[in-house]
Every structure is written in C-alpha cells, then in structure tokens.
Amino acid sequence: MLRNAFEPWHLILILAVLVLLFGSKKLPDMARGLGRSMRILKAEARAVKDDEPAEEPRRESAAHH
C-alpha cells in the first residue's frame, strides 16, 4: 500500500506548494528554525536517556516468590 509512497516528483510537488504558500524568502528561515528545534530535541532526548538509571534484572526477586 505505501511501498512507493514518496517518489522524487512527490517531493518536488511538496516543495513547490511550500514555496507558493510561504514565499521563497521565508523558507530558509523556517528550515533554520526547524534545524534548531531538531537539535534541541535530540539533545533533550539524549539527556533524558542518560539520566535514566539502568534497570536491574528482576529474575532473582521473582524466583523467591
């Protein structure tokens, strides 16, 4: 069903619609803002992953019950 969802002409069409909607002057600013947001999101996700304590295996406690 979604095997060939995005072909090159799909991406060209999406880009053309974005240029028509927002204008070519705003697109670089939007891309820059999106890039910054993605970097912040990655940094926060990495920080959350590093803050989580490693889970200990619970097989020993389950064997006693």
Three-state secondary structure readout of 1-65 = CCCCCCCHHHHHHHHHHHHHHHCCCHHHHHHHHHHHHHHHHHHHHHHHHHHCCCCCCCHHHHHHC
Distance CA 18, CA 63 (A): 60
2-52 residue pLDDT tens: 566 778 888 889 888 988 888 888 888 888 998 999 999 999 999 988 887
Please report the pLDDT score of residue 46 as a whole number: 92
**Which pTM was predicted?**
0.48
Instruction: With cut-offs at 50, 70 and 90, classify the pLDDT of residue 61.
Output: low
